[in-house]
Amino acid sequence: MQAVKRKKTFVLVVPRFEDILHAYYAGEIIKGASLAASRLKIDILIHITDRSDHRGWLDSSLLDPLYIHGIIFADIDNDLSVVKKTINHRIPCLVLNNMLREPINCIAVDNKKIAVDIVDYLVELGHAKIATIAGDLTTQAGQWRLDGFKEAMEKHDLKIPKDYIVQGDFLRTPARKAAEKLLKLKDRPTAIFAASDVMALEVLDVAKGNALKVPDDLSVIGFDDNPLNKTSSVRLSTVAQPLIEMGRLGVENLHQISLGKARLPVKIVLPTKLIKRQSTKAVQANH
């Protein structure tokens, strides 16, 4: 009896976090991966997994090369062990949103460099009192955006008061609390870099509640170019990153890897774009 030739099946592993089904990052990655999978006639399984406990799926049929032909990690929360276990099962894999020194296939943007560019831009506008609301530091994106901020401030010989770095974890409620802390400081910042637009929008709202005008009293810049920005009364300066492209390239490159046609390891750094809008302007003389 002739065996039935099955379509290839890839798994897109997405770490679980608050409001995952409405998350801009996850949605764009899934969209790009789905577009490529449809064109290549590949089935995609989307697996939302606990961020710290991988035992459930690592021991399951998801790691059986008879059924699964490749795994894409939407992120790995700096946990390389889960990727190495996949490699040990001889399943082709690729990591998104992380630039890895190890010989592991990955596609990402340079989060550190663009964070440096953001601070450079704010300094060009005359800002010296620049604060940041950091993202989730268990992710490389969150950590590298913070590292880039620190590196750029040091480059410009600008001090960072300990109160000027606060945690927002890429989430609304922590970001709102962080913004309230920053804007209540006696020596409050004249500019805030929030590591995501979701957090930056909270800053805009808190500033409005404190009778501060953006950008006259406070410059705010985010990251993502999230469509949510369209609901904002002030057009948000931000960074665009090609997330759909990242998801698409993830599937396309994994397909080539699974066919033995890719030069390994695959390392792709995608471009970002600093978008200057209404929420940033030159610092006022009285600051």
pLDDT computed for residue 78 by the predictor: 82
Q: Distance between CA 118 and CA 229 in Å, rounded?
A: 18
Which letter, b or e, does each residue of 150-182 get, where b requires 16 or more Cβ atoms within 10 Å of its Cβ?
bebbeeeebeeeeebbbbbbbbbebbbbbbebb
SS3 217: coil
Q: Please name the amino acid found at residue 113.
A: K
Give the CA angle between residues 81, 34, 50 to the nearest 5°.
Answer: 35
Q: List the chain pLDDT tens, one digit each, 287 residues.
A: 444 457 899 999 988 766 666 789 999 999 999 999 999 999 999 988 876 665 555 556 666 777 889 999 999 888 888 888 888 888 999 999 999 999 999 999 999 999 999 999 999 999 999 999 999 999 999 999 999 999 999 999 999 999 999 999 999 999 999 999 999 999 999 999 999 999 999 999 999 999 999 999 999 999 999 999 998 989 999 999 999 999 999 999 999 999 999 999 999 999 999 999 999 999 876 55
pLDDT computed for residue 1 by the predictor: 41
H/E stretch holding 181 reads helix 172-183
For tokens 């600093």, the residue is: 274
Strand partners, 96: 107
pTM for the full predicted model: 0.92
For residue 88, count CB atoms less than 10 angstroms from its CB and return exposed for 0-12, middle for 13-18, buried for 19 or more.
exposed
* Alpha-carbon dihedral sign for residues 183, 149, 155, 192: negative
pLDDT computed for residue 82 by the predictor: 83
Report the interhelical angle of 243-258 vs 24-40 (nearest 10°).
40
Give the CA angle between residues 39, 239, 152 to the nearest 5°.
Answer: 135
- The answer to whether the CB of 125 falls within 8 A of the CB of 280 is yes
Strand partners, 106: 95, 267
Domains and CATH numbers, the chain: 9-109+241-271 (3.40.50.2300), 111-240 (3.40.50.2300)
For tokens 């759909």, the residue is: 244
Output the six-digit token pair for 274.
């600093």
Residue by residue, DSSP assigns 117-151 as HHHHHHHHTT---EEEEE--TTSHHHHHHHHHHHH
